Structure 1
Amino acid sequence: MAALMTAWRVSRMLPVGAVRVIAAGAATLAWRRGGKAVDRLEDNLHRVTGLSGQPMRELSKRSLQSISRYYAEALTLDRFSAEQIAARVRTENYEPVQGLLETAQTGVVAVLSHSGNWDLVGAYASRHIIPVAAVAEKLKPQEMFERFVAMREAIGIKVLAHEGGSTFRELIRMARRDRALLCLLADRDLSGSGVEVQMWGHGVKVAPGPAALGLATGARIVPVHVYYERLTGARRRAAGSPWGVVLSFGEAIDPADAVGETREEQVSDLSQRWAAWMADRIAEHAEDWHMLQRFGWVS
């Protein structure tokens, strides 16, 4: 986190393009040096894709470049204009959920993976689709966390710190009271009470929060995936970047349709539904899955 704090301070003094170039260079250096984080990334990607050897090395290099791109954008997101944000984001499969999101009077639960740039699409959605609230892992030092919260709130994202039961109770209140897209990163369980699902032919522990929140409030659950794409022509000029992101929507899941006699069985059923869709999307764009951390592999 000390390195991230240093990067934040340095990024404040540099043009956005320079931050992107420096981050890309650091990613290449990290890939060449290797180490535990790179080994863990490659192990996670191997389980998703089955690749090994040189094809895996090429994939992990692209993945580290994608991760560096995310951090470069996260450090400078408050410097993007509304027009640049709009140009950088393209929606995919939006029509089936458009009516739900644009007419909702209460909360809708969005399930995300650690893919692409979820902050960027949050900024886009809050301006063009529906107000956005997100649960964020509480970083240390506190100053770093507060800076990221301030930046996200400046672009229209309401941030709740991940603090266990109190956060979940606030999400329940928001889902029942507010028109908002409640965004939960759920492919990696932080609660210690993950639910096992099948992804890529493996047993995986994912966060139970989206399913539990849907069951507690009746809010629809919409899986969302984000991946990068190259920009060209007029869109690239408007974006001020060679890269944009695609905001891809899955089919809305009604918690009333959950199968199971107990709440645990219903949470498992709903979680498997979004996880199956998410696994396919991650496999299609594996280089944009930023899983440097330990993942919840069970088998």
Structure 2
Amino acid sequence: MKDRLVYSAYALGWTALKHLPEPAARGLFDRIADYAWRKRGKRVLQLEANLRRVCPEADGARLRELSRAGMRSYMRYWMESFRLPVWSRERIARDVQVEGFEQLRATLDSGRGAVIALPHSGNWDLAGAWVASEGYPFTTVAERLKPERLFDRFVAFRESLGMEVLALTGGGVNVIGTLARRLREGRMVCLVGDRDLSEAGIEVSFFGEATRMPAGPAALCQRTGAALMPVTLWYDGPVLRARIHPEVVPPAEGDRKAKTQAMVQAMADVWAEGIREHPEDWHMLQRFWLADLPVRETVGVPAAQPSKVVRPAAEQVGEPAVEASGP
């Protein structure tokens, strides 16, 4: 029954929102965001706790202002994702503006693969649709979650945008091996990589505190020789902006583990700067820093598994384990 209700809710969103006038859809999702924000549930409180690390100088009023804007940004992601099937290529080209794409284009045109690594900011699905519309299809990973037909619908939707989606489990495919093969073929892989769910990620300093991030993007690049390019995303009025940053190059010294650590930290530093500039567009409504996690998680004792929900996002990959992440 729960699976049927979840599927019905998402299916209604896809069906109804595609036909609503855009101002009406935007107004509806702003009202949903404001309602959730006023209720001050655990997601909103956690968002404010995270924003307090990003903006330590902010007083209570400023944090409330940021969290309200953050909830509106988060719900805008959902509204746009539901309506993306009816966006024309011209609309995507108009409402997505990307800086630094020439360096990615040059890398791919030279025959070298590239890993695009993103945080949970802005709208990564819309950014992916823009990249694919420019003639550069890519591969990503999705966690197989229940209800199964909703997962299939999300996959079909992403594939319609020009993405190759690998199921994390149950697909009979070696995910890490396939990603590595795509990179060696000179293709692109896109991964969301700011949140680690495996308890086996790389510990980094992020806004002055310890957290873990997946090793996957950096490890894949070391394994295949692909370029690692972090990306930051944010909203600017009606426009989604993206900045493709210069390649994170492995250090000349050290073993593979040390090089991976340095690359993940460098990537985290890039994301921190982007999030600091646009904190309201970082959709991190979960516990993120190690200091906020239950003791059993920080010391490596398995925690109870949370109930799974569909997470419609480009996913993150660890090595050798693979995790999915989403809003």
User: Which category of TM-score, normalised to the shorter sequence, fits these structures?
Assistant: 0.7 to 0.9
Instruction: Report if aligned partners of 1:77, 1:151 keep a CA contact under 8 Å in 2.
Output: no
Which whole-Å CA distance do the structure 2 matches of 1:4 and 1:258 have between them?
49
- In the TM superposition, 1:106-255 aligns within 5 A as 106-128=112-134, 130-163=136-169, 166-177=174-185, 179-230=186-237, 243-255=238-250
Which whole-Å CA distance do the structure 1 matches of 2:68 and 2:106 have between them?
39
For residue 12 of structure 2, the aligned residue among 9, 14, 35 is 9
How many residues were matched structurally?
283
**How far 1:194 sits from its partner (Å)?**
0.8
Match of 2:286 in 1: 293
For structure 1, the 5+ residue unaligned runs are 231-242
Stretch moving more, 2-11 or 54-63: 2-11
Describe the shift of the 1:68–1:251 C-alpha distance in structure 2 as closer, same or farther (beyond 3 A). Answer: same
RMSD (Å), alpha carbons: 2.1
The normalised TM-score by structure 1 is 0.88
Q: Equivalent pairs: percent with the same residue? A: 38
For residue 283 of structure 1, the aligned residue among 276, 281, 292 is 276
Match of 1:237 in 2: none
Describe the shift of the 1:143–1:217 C-alpha distance in structure 2 as closer, same or farther (beyond 3 A). Answer: same
- In the TM superposition, 1:61-100 aligns within 5 A as 61-100=68-107
What secondary structure does 1:115 align onto? coil
**How far 1:137 sits from its partner (Å)?**
3.5
Describe the shift of the 1:141–1:3 C-alpha distance in structure 2 as closer, same or farther (beyond 3 A). Answer: closer
Match of 2:63 in 1: 56
The normalised TM-score by structure 2 is 0.81
For structure 2, the 5+ residue unaligned runs are 293-327
For residue 53 of structure 2, the aligned residue among 47, 52, 70 is 47
Describe the shift of the 1:20–1:7 C-alpha distance in structure 2 as closer, same or farther (beyond 3 A). Answer: farther
Instruction: Report if aligned partners of 1:203, 1:297 keep a CA contact under 8 Å in 2.
Output: yes
Instruction: Report if aligned partners of 1:11, 1:19 keep a CA contact under 8 Å in 2.
Output: no
What secondary structure does 2:290 align onto? coil
What secondary structure does 2:34 align onto? helix
**How far 1:159 sits from its partner (Å)?**
1.4
**How far 1:52 sits from its partner (Å)?**
3.9
What secondary structure does 1:287 align onto? helix
**How far 1:287 sits from its partner (Å)?**
0.4
Which amino acid is the alignment partner of residue 32 of structure 1? R
Structure with the bigger percentage of helix: 1
